[in-house]
Amino acid sequence: MFFKRSKVLTGLVTFTMAAAVMGGPVQAMDNSARRNASATLNPITGNVITPDNAQAELIADAVLSIVGPGHREIEDAKRKAIVNGASEKSKLMQEDKMELAVAAPNVYLNIHTDASLGSEVIGKLYSNDVAKIIQDNGGDWVKVKSGKLVGYVLGEYLVKGDEAELLTELVKKNVAIVDNSEDEVEIHSYKGNAGVMMTMSAGEQVTVEEDMENETDGWIEVSTENGTGYVRSEDVSIQDSYPVAETSEEQQERLENATVKDIADDAQKKADKASEVAQAAAEKAEEAVSLVEDEDAEPTKAEEKAAETAQAVAEITQVVADNTQETADTAKEDMQKHGAETGEAVAQFALQFVGNPYVWGGSSLTNGTDCSGFTMAVYSNFGVGLPHYDASQRGYGIGIDSLADARPGDLICFYGHVGIYIGDGMMVHAANARDGIKVSRADYRSIACIRRIFY
């Protein structure tokens, strides 16, 4: 196996040596004594020992102890760096031991600053997002950490225990992360040292697109913003990655310039992903149940428990998939309603210029325009940029099958001409130099295609 799997701890002191001596004697209190200590001064680090920092102090002691007899003469800056690094390492060690939970809300699960519905909402967990449980006393509220956020959520919408353990395996993905390398890491268009498509710096990551258990040739297939590529396995570390909470600031930024189509597309992507997870869970459940129901086998307690867990996860993920698809369908309906309203507005706006002159090559709605200049100028008032060429406008929007399915605001495209549908089989267009901008039957000549710009 050529790749290495690790947790990336950017900017931390290396604790390999410390870990090696943790099991052996050090000139410091043992861990149990530390946790029972109260306001005790650590003579090695100079810090007051509390239950909260006891683990960090123990790690710091180990590092300082193996520096050598002269560790007391270490510069204050180095000592502080070691202690701070130990504290951060301790936090990460504690986080690794936290139980994972998976969100299974109807739409989304708010993360609050306090265990109260009246407290500030700082972010959201969407279906199949993963969180670490910090505190769960069996009440309504659970304190969690997910992504950048630490806060409280309603526990009834969390999947926990054995079901969460299985579910996290279904929703996780592998990412390739560049370690603390001074040189940029190259991603290639194909396996080999040529065809560089992009580079990554230390700390950056891309999604792995292959089963890492089968990686044997030293190259890893990854998904990037520029398409599929390949990175040398020796240049990256492989780490498990889970979908996590979105902060309120991230949500605001995402929605700030989003169109109703962007929102609908995002909702459908979530629904598609939830459906994939549900399908994978169903396959896991079918496999586990088949082992239990095999007539020639006597299932163990563990196998029976695994089948029960897998069936529960399959049911949960199917409900999540159904709820997520319902949200996507609602977003799509909102998009279509908005598109219809906008299309009607386009048609009404265009009609006010009926009677104005036709000018070949023009695009002025008042002083003169040709057919494609007319549609271009009308749509520009609604934030849409169309080219000043009727044949090119056929490539915009989505295709509509027939005039019977057209709605106001659609482009009616002919070979060498274009107009705007206004309903009831009629369109408005810059017809010719004699008639100018006028209303005509939309099928007065053979239609090449119908394009819907707002949908």
Domain boundary among 305, 335, 365: 335
Domain boundary among 241, 268, 297: 241
The pLDDT score that the predictor gives to residue 217 is: 80
Question: Residues 143, 154: contact at Cβ < 8 Å?
Answer: no
225 and 279 in a single domain? The answer is: no
Please check whether residue 3 lies inside any domain of the structure.
no
Number of domains forming the structure of the chain:
5
307 and 365 in a single domain? The answer is: no
The range of the structural domain enclosing residue 16 comes to 8-96
Question: Residues 402, 387: contact at Cβ < 8 Å?
Answer: no
The pLDDT score that the predictor gives to residue 27 is: 38
Which is it for the CA torsion 195, 197, 202, 207, positive or negative?
negative
315 and 263 in a single domain? The answer is: yes
Please check whether residue 252 lies inside any domain of the structure.
no
Domain boundary among 62, 80, 96: 96
Q: What is the CATH number of the domain that holds 185?
A: 2.30.30.40
The pLDDT score that the predictor gives to residue 40 is: 65
422 and 440 in a single domain? The answer is: yes
368 and 411 in a single domain? The answer is: yes
Please check whether residue 285 lies inside any domain of the structure.
yes
Amino acid letter, residue 266: D
The pLDDT score that the predictor gives to residue 156 is: 95
14 and 87 in a single domain? The answer is: yes
Closest CA relative to residue 127, chosen from 144, 104, 145? 104
357 and 444 in a single domain? The answer is: yes
The pLDDT score that the predictor gives to residue 90 is: 56
Residues in the chain with pLDDT values less than 50: 1-38, 69, 71-72
- This prediction's pTM: 0.67
The pLDDT score that the predictor gives to residue 242 is: 94
358 and 443 in a single domain? The answer is: yes
433 and 392 in a single domain? The answer is: yes
* Distance in angstroms (rounded) separating the CA atoms of residues 109 and 156: 10
**Burial (CB count within 10 angstroms: exposed 0-12, middle 13-18, buried 19+), residue 421:** buried
Mean pLDDT of the chain: 84
Please check whether residue 347 lies inside any domain of the structure.
no
> Which DSSP state fits 115?
S
31 and 44 in a single domain? The answer is: yes
* Distance in angstroms (rounded) separating the CA atoms of residues 194 and 178: 19
